[in-house]
Amino acid sequence: MNDSKLILLRQDRHILSLLLNEGRLTEVNAYQPAACAPAAPDADTCILGSIYVGKINHVVKNINAAFVDLTQSRRAFLPLDGRAEPRLLNRPYDGRLLAGDEILVQVEKEAVKTKDPVVTPELSFSGRYAVLIPSEAPGRLVFSGKLDTAVKKRLRDFLPADELTEVLKNASLIIRTNAGELTEKEPLVSDIQKLSALACQLLSVADKRTCYSCLYRPASPYLMEIRDTHTDQFDAIITDDRQLYEETADFLKTQYPEELSRLQFYEDPRVSLSNLYGLSAKLKEATETRVWLKSGGYLVIEPTEALTVIDVNSGKYSGKKGIRDTFRMINREAALEIARQLRLRNLSGIILVDFINMEEADDRQELLEFLSAQLKRDPVKTALIDMTPLGLVEITRKKIRRPLKEQLEQ
């Protein structure tokens, strides 16, 4: 395992979760303290994974969507993509959604800038190793595409046939990438049992709850990061905040007691935890437009409302290589850094990269294959689409949370 740490800080207006790998920031998320409080969420803390009894405000047929009031002051966007049949609580569903209908929805994307949060009628319950989806068309068992065939077979053998059949009567299951680390069946089976019990309990009381009720709210977002992060990505969880330490300790004791030994409380009056790892400077770098490469080249990263543009420049490089080898080297270094920056800054949607122009088709193909391999390491679904005739590389990355800069500004 590399020297990797997950650091939890309370700083200014945020709770910060920072993943460090060999001293470099890999991923950062900033949460408002209200979103991490154990109390019921208010109108301004609509967090990912929360399940509400919402009310249809109005249906917009020409964009095949509806707007749903989650509370009296919080509205959400509901795509009517047919992915799941809506669960109406005020009447049987007859193929239509009408203004005033009470509907069970789950937040799947945060609000971004002027856009409302996005909700879905397809409920899902996530654990570390599995995702359970209660469904009108149950019975699917799906494995993460990042798991190879041998691992999938081993995990399939872990699941008791009778118990699996019972769960799949009312739900579908996705086995997550994290399950690939398991050598025993108990953690996976236990995860699925807990998720099944939670789903059954929630759905049994949904029709008894009033409109605008929040039926389910995941644990604090930074605790969900601990759950979702592959255990080989960090060897220690460090915080200097007593409340965060106690909340994390309680979470690990009840959910993952085998990992409690990783948790450390930092106490040193001479040097703060932030200063020890130079986190303020690293955070500042993670929001700057220009990113320097070791070769002397640099990236210019410009997010806009519609897409993100990244320009690769040779900068201060003055080596002795020929032009072709120089451009190949800088572009390869840039590709590695771009994959890191997308995750670090949480850039998503459409991303266009303007690499230094390379004349040889073989060089361009080699670069695309290298970049694609780096993007596949991202826990968030990221895909390299192609290189346009103008030499721009097209990338898409799934939108889930706000970009880092917006998180820090909220």
Tell me the CA distances in angstroms from 322 to 296, 319, 326, 329, 391, one per residue in order: 16, 9, 6, 11, 21
Whether the CB-CB separation of 301 and 284 falls below 8 Å is answered with no
Tell me the CA distances in angstroms from 54 to 47, 76, 107, 215, 291, one per residue in order: 15, 9, 11, 10, 43
Instruction: Give the amino acid at 359.
Output: E
Q: What are the structural domain ranges in the chain?
A: 1-38+239-279, 51-122, 286-409
CA angle 291, 396, 27 (to 5 degrees): 50
Length of the chain (residues): 410
Predicted TM-score (pTM) above 0.85: no
Pairwise CA distance, residues 168 & 130, whole Å: 13
- Give the bridge partners for 132, in sequence order: 125, 173
Q: Which residues of 120-154 are buried (b: 16+ CB within 10 A; e: fewer)?
A: bbbbbbbbbbbbbbbbeeeeeeebbeebeeebbee
Pairwise CA distance, residues 410 & 404, whole Å: 10
Pairwise CA distance, residues 225 & 179, whole Å: 16
Helix (H) or strand (E) holding 87: none
Instruction: Give the amino acid at 280.
Output: S
pLDDT by position in tens, the chain (length 410): 468 999 999 987 899 999 999 989 999 999 887 666 554 444 445 678 999 999 999 999 999 999 999 998 899 999 998 778 899 999 999 989 999 999 999 999 888 777 899 999 999 999 999 999 998 677 889 999 889 999 999 999 998 888 888 888 889 999 999 999 898 999 999 999 999 999 999 999 998 899 999 999 988 889 988 888 877 778 899 999 999 999 999 999 988 888 899 999 999 999 999 999 999 999 999 999 999 999 889 999 999 988 999 999 987 766 666 788 889 999 999 999 999 999 999 999 999 999 999 889 999 999 999 999 999 999 899 999 999 999 999 999 998 888 999 999 87
- The CATH classification number of 51-122 equals 2.40.50.140
Residue 291 exposure: Cα atoms within 13 Å on the Cβ side: 24
Using CB atoms within 10 A of its CB, is residue 15 exposed (0-12), middle (13-18) or buried (19+)? Answer: buried
Whether the CB-CB separation of 350 and 394 falls below 8 Å is answered with yes
> What backbone torsions phi and psi does residue 310 show, to the nearest 5 degrees?
-125, 125
Tell me the CA distances in angstroms from 139 to 110, 122, 129, 207, one per residue in order: 29, 15, 18, 24
Pairwise CA distance, residues 292 & 286, whole Å: 11
- Give the bridge partners for 21, in sequence order: 4, 24
